Each structure stands twice: as C-alpha cells, then as structure tokens.
Amino acid sequence: MSLRILTENIDIPELTSFEVYRKLGGYRSVEKSLKTMSPSGVMEEVKKSTLRGRGGAGFPTGMKWSFLARGIGKPHYLICNADESEPGTFKDRYLMERNPHLLIDGMITSAFALEANTAYIYVRGELFRVLRILEKAIGEAYANGFLGKNILGSGYSLDIFCHPGAGAYICGEETALIESVEGKRGNPRIKPPFPAIAGLWDCPTVVNNVETLASVPWIINNGGEEYAKIGVWKSTGTKLMSACGHISKPGVYEVKMGLPVEEFIYSEEYCGGIRKGNKLKAVIAGGSSVPILPADLILKTAAGEPRLITYESLSEGGFETGTMLGSGGFIVMDNTTCIVKNLWNFTRFYRHESCGQCSPCREGTGWMEKVLYGIENGEGKMPDIDLLEDVAKNIEGHTICPLGDAAAWPVRSAIRHFRSEFEEHVKLKKCPF
C-alpha cells in the first residue's frame, strides 16, 4: 500500500464523527500549533513543505500566506474553496463527505497561522449532503472546544461558517467567490488588488482549496521537511486524483507526486486499465480546462521521457505537447470517443458558466459553442475549424478571469492534436462515431 496522507482512514466507518476522528489522532495539529507554536512558526512549516495549491493553479501555499497584508488594522479571513465544479473533478467532495474533520482540523491550524478569527467554507450549491456533513462536524468541533472562543485555553478564537453557493461554476474563481460571500452577484474582480491585500469586505483574505487545507495537519504533525521529502522536485506530497471516463475503476485515488501516468492508468491499484480492453485515445489530465493530450503524449513527453503526475512533468513541452496537472480531474477517453462531441459538450459548459462581464468570454464562448455544434452535427465547413481556433486565440489572455482561458485551451488543444477528426466530420457531413 502506498503512502496515504489525506485518505489514510477514509474507509473506516463513522470517520465523520468527532470521537472516531479524534481517537485516530485527529486534531493533534491544532493542539500542537495552538499550544506550542506561533502563527509565523506554523507558516514556516508550510513554507518548508513546499505544498502547492490544489485548486488548479498550483501556487505555493506558504508563499500565498506570506503575502497576507498583516498589521493594517483590519481583520483577516480564511476562505476554503469547496465550490468544486470543474467537469471531471470530484476529489474535494469525496474528502469532505468522508473526512470532514480533517478539513476543519486543517482550517483551524491554517487560520491560526493567518491570525484570522473568522473562516468560511464556500460549498458548491449542489452538494447538499456535504453541507449537512460539514455543519454537523463543525457543531461537534464547537462542542468539543476546538472552535469558538479561547480554543483549548490558548487564547485563540475562531468561528467557521458554511456558505452554500447557488450553482455557478464561476463562483469557484476566488474573487467571484468573495463577491458571492458578500452577498453580491458572483462576478470576478479585476486584479490587482489581490485578495491577500483586499479580499472579503476589503480585508486581507486567503482563499485555499479543500485539499490544500486538508494537507496542513500532516505537515504540522510531521514537519514541513518530512512532507517535502515526498514527491519529486517542486511537486511535493500527495495528490488526490479523481479519475473518470473509460477506465475499469473510476474513483478518487491518492497518489504520491511523481507516480508515472502509465502506472496510474494501467495498474490494478489505480484505474485498472482501459475498459473492455479498448485502446487509450486521449486524456484530459487536470479537469476540463486543461489541454487534452493524445495517448502517446500523455504517457511520454515529446522527448520520450515517461510522463509523471507532477506539476512539472505534465506541463513539460508547454501547450504544444504538454498540459497541466490542474485540479487532478483525470478524464480518460478510449478509441470510441468523439473528440469533437466531447469538446462541444465542454464548450457548452463554459458558455453556460461565463459570468458575462467581459466581452471576449461572454460572446466568444457562445460563438465557439455554435460552431462546434454545427461541425458535430454535419453542418460544418472547412474554414470553421480555423475560425474556431481564431476565436479561441482571441479569448485567451484577453479576459478578466481565467475562465476565458479555460474555455479557449480545450478548443485549441483539440484542434492541435485532433485536427483530422474535425476535418472528417466536415467531409462526411456527420459524426463518424
């Protein structure tokens, strides 16, 4: 069995209850940090761990915390981003459903490091069950003195509130999320200023992903240096991968950073190979937003090196021949999959989820969706393929938030690697699948 940091006890029934979690050693990091460490000491450990944000961008967590504008006479806030809505990504939900106290444990320790006395969990609106589980767990933590005033007699106080979303993917973008918590329409803000300077109610705020915060207890219990020993180079620790699509065993797997992609797909411990013995066609490795790669390029880099599950290895070769680790939403497609149809479906998603603030994304996502629908349904023309690419190119980098890029990258990469499939749709005047 390989190392498990986040999912160690995940199969134990009743792990969601405070007693069971505590008996298994839970909340030790809260005791350790609040009683024996200073806020900056906790931050130093996280820095040493070189933990990187698991929400998609992979920004070093310790560094993000150090940007927090302290001592300007305003309260600080910690927000846990549990809006998980990226197609193909369902790891945060798994963690919160089965081990909610791990998140709360990590949040208390992190909020202490950030000297925040209020923290929020922004829960995706559709996750009713998760919301109930979290609220029960938070209640238990209060009842046992781990939340509220003067936690464990340390003098430190913290309140955690759950804030359910209302069904908008864009509210996962951290500044849209902040607007939403403030009770406004979830439109992303123009940055700068970044949330670390002026976030929630104009106060210094850190927004972190569920998995990021859930990694903190282990780091505090075992030390940042220990954590940094796991993994490869700048990708340390473990990563939750939510694997779906045409594999024998879809599910959430915790992998050590550095696991070869090939092993992840084919070994019995993880995905168990392609279903029905079919052939692997393509993989979207980090949630719907990251570039799609054909089988040969996901298994090996263009230079012939085995592709590993790390931030660096997956992006090796840039967007020409590489992709991104993103959120770890690992979507596998076998040779029965129509790339055009899949892309149309994703583009329809981005069109539906664009907040509509900035013109390239608002209008461009709709345009791309219509062109793709035409190609998939036999109404496409050859110049449509270049048009599609051009529209995507002109959204990319020209928008307020990265949703524009997230809509453009799948289109550009699908055309880059599977152009002939688009052409076939046009020639046949129908979908060949």
Partner 1 sequence: MSLLKVTIDNLDVEVEPGTTILNAARKIGGRVVPPAMCYYSGLKGTGGKCRTCLVKVSKSSATDPRPMPKLVPSCSTIVQDGMIVQNITSPEVLEARKHIVEILLINHPLDCPICDQAGECDLQNLSYKHGLADTRYEFERRTFEKIDIGRFIQLHMTRCILCYRCVYLADQLTDKRVHGVLFRGDNSEISTFIENVVENDFSGNVIDVCPVGALTDKTFRFKSRVWFTKPYDAHRNCEKCEGKAVLWMSGTDVLRVTGRKNEFGEVEDFICNECRFEKKNTDDWILEGPRNISHSSVISQNLYELINEPPKEPPFNKKD
DSSP-derived 3-state class of residue 88: coil
Rounded to whole angstroms, what are the CA distances from 269 to 144, 254, 280, 351?
38, 11, 18, 37
For residue 57, state whether it binds ligand FMN (rule: CB under 6 A): yes
Query: What spatial distance separates the first Cα and last Cα of the chain, rounded to whole Å?
Result: 40
**Nearest to 15, CA basis, from 92, 128, 138, 100:** 100
**Smallest distance, ligand SF4 to C-beta of residue 292, A:** 21
Is residue 404 close enough to count as binding ligand SF4 by CB under 6 A? yes
Alpha-carbon distance 299 to 301, whole Å? 7
Asked if 269 and 2 touch (Cβ cutoff 8 Å), the reply is yes
Encoded amino acid at 415, one letter? I
Peptide bond into 192 cis (omega under 30): yes
Q: Which of 21, 26, 45, 53 binds ligand FMN (CB under 6 A)?
A: 53
User: Which H/E stretch holds residue 41?
Assistant: helix 39-49
Comparison of 196 and 297: residue with beta carbon closer to ligand FMN: 196
Is residue 355 a contact point for ligand SF4 (CB under 6 A)?
yes
Distance of CA 399 to the CA centre of its chain: 21
The piece of 37-45, 250-258, 283-291, 396-404 that touches ligand SF4 (CB under 6 A) is 396-404
Q: Over 299-344, what HEC string results?
A: HECCCCCECECCHHHHHCCHHHHCCCCCCCEEEEEECCCCHHHHHH
- The continuous run of DSSP H or E covering 161 comes out as strand 159-164
Taking CB within 5 to 8 Å according to partner kind, which of ligand FMN, partner 1, ligand SF4, none is near residue 165?
A: none
Residue whose CB is less far from ligand FMN, 86 or 421: 86
Q: Which is nearer to ligand SF4, 256 or 351 (CB)?
A: 351
Return d(Cα 325, Cα 338) in angstroms, integer. Answer: 23
Binding-site ranges for partner 1 (CB under 8 A): 168, 170, 185, 190, 351-360, 362-367, 370, 387, 390, 394, 397-400
Angstrom distance (rounded) from CA 368 to CA 350: 10
Out of 401, 408, 414, 426, point to the residue binding ligand SF4 (CB under 6 A).
401
Residue nearest to ligand SF4 (CB): 361
Q: Of ligand FMN, ligand SF4, partner 1, none, which one sits near residue 179, judging by CB under 5 to 8 A according to partner kind?
A: none
424 in Cβ contact with 385 (< 8 Å): no
Q: State the minimum distance, in angstroms, from the CB of residue 113 to ligand FMN.
A: 14
For residue 113, the partner it binds in ligand SF4, ligand FMN, partner 1, none, with Cβ less than 5 to 8 A by kind, is: none
How far lies 415's CA from each of 53, 295, 368, 403, 409, in Å?
30, 15, 13, 19, 10
Decide whether 56 or 380 has the Cβ nearer to ligand SF4. Answer: 56
Nearer to partner 1, 296 or 390 (CB): 390
Binding-residue pattern over the window 80 to 119 for ligand FMN, x denoting contact by CB under 6 A: -x-xxxx---------------------------------
**How many C-beta atoms surround the C-beta of residue 275 within 10 A?**
16
Per-position x/- string for 210-229, each x denoting binding to ligand FMN as judged by CB under 6 A, each - no binding: --x-----------------
Relative to beta strand 238-245, strand 231-232 is unpaired
CA distance linking residue 413 with residue 200, whole number of Å: 36
400 near ligand SF4, rule: CB under 6 A? yes
Binding piece for ligand SF4, criterion CB under 6 A, among 114-122, 241-249, 289-297, 355-363: 355-363
Burial class (CB in 10 A: 0-12, 13-18, 19+), 66: middle
Residue 396 Cβ vs ligand SF4, minimum distance, rounded to whole Å: 10
Whole-angstrom distance, CA of residue 362 vs CA of residue 433: 31
**Tokens matching residue 159:** 């309140």
Nearest residue (CB) to partner 1, 190 versus 382? 190
Q: Is 388 in the site for ligand SF4 (CB under 6 A)?
A: no
Residues 153-212 contacting ligand FMN, CB under 6 A: 169-170, 172-174, 207-209, 212
Q: Which does 207 bind (CB under 5 to 8 A by kind): partner 1, ligand SF4, ligand FMN, none?
A: ligand FMN
> For residues 329 and 360, which CB has a smaller minimum distance to partner 1 in the complex?
360
Among the listed ranges 88-96, 100-108, 271-279, 399-407, the one in contact with ligand SF4 (CB under 6 A) is: 399-407
The residue (of 215 and 354) whose beta carbon lies closer to ligand SF4 is 354
- What is the contact surface with ligand FMN in residues (CB under 6 A)? 53-57, 59, 64, 81, 83-86, 169-170, 172-174, 207-209, 212, 401-403, 406
- What is the contact surface with ligand SF4 in residues (CB under 6 A)? 170, 188, 354-358, 361-362, 399-401, 403-404
